[in-house]
Structure 1
């Protein structure tokens, strides 16, 4: 891993709930030595990617990220294109919907919307990176990624986010095969014990998968009827989003239900 990568990886530790991080916390989170972490933080601060609070000495994200975000959105207006599609999907279903883009071997949220029609909502942190093996969005992306990407991701030690996270590569490969048939994945309590979700892939103009569209539902409302209601609407929204991004959506051989995780008895 190069020096630049190690420095930039520090930025991934910021979340909505952890907007400021001190040097000691960075050392603990990364497992790296203090001198190296401090050097990387200093370089990021000098280039505007971080700024340090004068009193607490904790670091927060800097203005350079705002500038680069504006440049990215002006050149490739993903948020502007996806916002109405995600919002319409969420309003139609009455549950939280979100779009994410592939970033390395993780997914980064681009836009999410919750119509807030119920007393219980899905807790969603837009700053949190989503693992490919433990989310419906991730499985939707992984199913249409190249063999090299799939082998690399499934060849790693897969972290169990909950006691229902599937970490067996063989089981995951079987699930990916089912996702390829219908274009929809479904996971229950794999990333959050209280959430069931469905995901669909998004494709870019070059034909490669670039991200995913997903609907997340509190388990208490995730009845079979509800999830069946979501599937065709999610598929249609993913197709519309792909077309807005200049891509072409593939035809799937199965168009009924979503590909689900096998029960414990089947594993």
Structure 2
């Protein structure tokens, strides 16, 4: 990992629950010594990517992030295009809906909407990266990714986020085959023990995934009827999200997505 990558990686530790991070905590999170982390933070601060609170001296995201976000959205207005689709889907199904974009080997959340019509809601942090092997968004993207990407992801150590996270590479390949048959992924409590979700890929101009669209439901409310309702709504939203961002659905995807996806079985069930 190069010096620039190590410095920029520190930015990924910021989230809504961690808007400010001190040097000691940064060193703990990154697993590096304080002198090295401080050197990286000094470089980031000099270029406007972070700034220090004048009293606490903790670091927070800097103005350069705002400038680059504005440039990105002005030239590639993905958030502006996907926001009404996400809000419409959330209102239709009455549950939290979120969209994310592929960033390396993970998904970076872009926008989420919750109509707040229930007493129990899903907590969603747009600052938290989503793993490809443990989320419905990630697995749906992985299923339609090139073979070399699938091989790379499944050859890495796969973290278990809950006791239901699928981590066996051979078993995950069979799950990906099932997802390709339906176009969508229905996943129970694999990333968060209290959440079930349904996700599908958003395709780019080459017909390969650039991101995902998903609906997250508290597990206690994830009845078969509820999830079927979400599946039907999600299919149309995925088509709209793909075409609205200039993408192309791969051949056969529209037909395959008419088949309801089944919940991936657990290894001890087969």
The reply to whether TM is greater than 0.5 is yes
Of 248-257 and 188-197, more deviation after overlay is shown by 248-257
Following superposition, the deviation at residue 209 of structure 1 comes to: 0.8
- 1:178-230 CA-to-partner distances (Å, cap 9, x unmatched) read 11111100111101111000000001122221000000001111001111111
Q: Partners in 2 of 1:222 and 1:254 — Cα distance?
A: 20
Deviation sequence 1:114-161 (CA, Å, 0-9, x none): 000000000000111001111000001101111111111111111111
Residues paired across the two proteins, number: 267
The one of 244, 257, 261 aligned to 1:258: 261
- What is the match of residue 249 of structure 1? 249
Partner of 1:27: 27
TM-score (norm 1): 0.97
> Take 1:168 and 1:263, find their aligned partners in 2: how far apart are those partners?
10
Give the conservation status (yes or no) of the 8 Å contact 1:198–1:258: no
2:105 equivalent to 1:76: no
Deviation, 1:240, is 0.5
Distance 1:259 1:151 in 2: 24
Q: Which residue of 2 aligns with 1:210?
A: 210
5 Å-filtered alignment, 1:21-170, equals 21-170=21-170
Unaligned runs of 5+ in 1: none
How many Å separate the matches in 1 of 2:215 and 2:257?
20
DSSP 3-state at the match of 1:260: coil
TM-score by length of 2: 0.96
**Divergent runs of 4+, >4 A:** none
Is residue 136–residue 197 contact of structure 1 (8 Å, CA) maintained in 2?
yes
Q: In 2, Cα distance between the equivalents of 1:259 and 1:22?
A: 45
